[in-house]
Amino acid sequence: LDLQRWAVFAPDNAEGRAMVAAVEALIQRRAEQSGHRAEPFFVPVGLSESQAHLWRKTVFEASAPDPRDLPRYQLILGDLDGVSLPFQQVMGGDAFTGRLAFDPLPGRTNPYEAYEAYADKLTRWERAPLPGPGAALLHLVEDGTPSTRIGDEALITPGEAQLADWIQSGRV
């Protein structure tokens, strides 16, 4: 993460700032992991593809003198009515871009409570010590089709052997 960096994008409005505040625990956690504070990027609402390209060039790419310092892990907060799908597609061309969007929880006064809960749960589980070796379950539907047989021979069987090897060597 220290080489790839991490960034968060939110709509450039009060709702976007509230979403960023709600995931502050996650922003701090990524800073701990990478050694770099991820200052959020606030994106104009509803950018078209051409506007997204221009924003990327003039704001995102201009934020780092060295292109190698641009964050490749990118989290977009909110639904498509805020940070647009064309923006996500433009940013995701050479990065690992995902989106986190929650509807407000029914009957709650804080519409960003789900974002807070997500950030808190994620950071809590990342910090929790592992209780011991995990378990893996590999599934294959044996339906007799050639594609399933090939999938078993090319993916499941070698994957199972590699996993057993890694467990034996202590890598997992």
- pLDDT tens sequence across 132-151: 666 777 888 888 899 888 98
- Average pLDDT for the chain: 91
Q: What kind and span of H or E run contains 99? A: strand 96-100
- Euclidean distance between CA atoms 62 and 70, whole angstroms: 9
Beta-ladder partners of 100: 77
Give this prediction's pTM: 0.76
Question: Among the residues of the chain, which ranges form H helices?
Answer: 14-22, 24-34, 49-55, 85-91, 113-127, 146-151, 157-169
39-93 tens-digit pLDDT: 899 999 999 999 999 999 999 999 998 988 899 999 999 999 999 999 999 999 9
Percent of the chain with pLDDT over 90: 60
- Euclidean distance between CA atoms 148 and 32, whole angstroms: 43
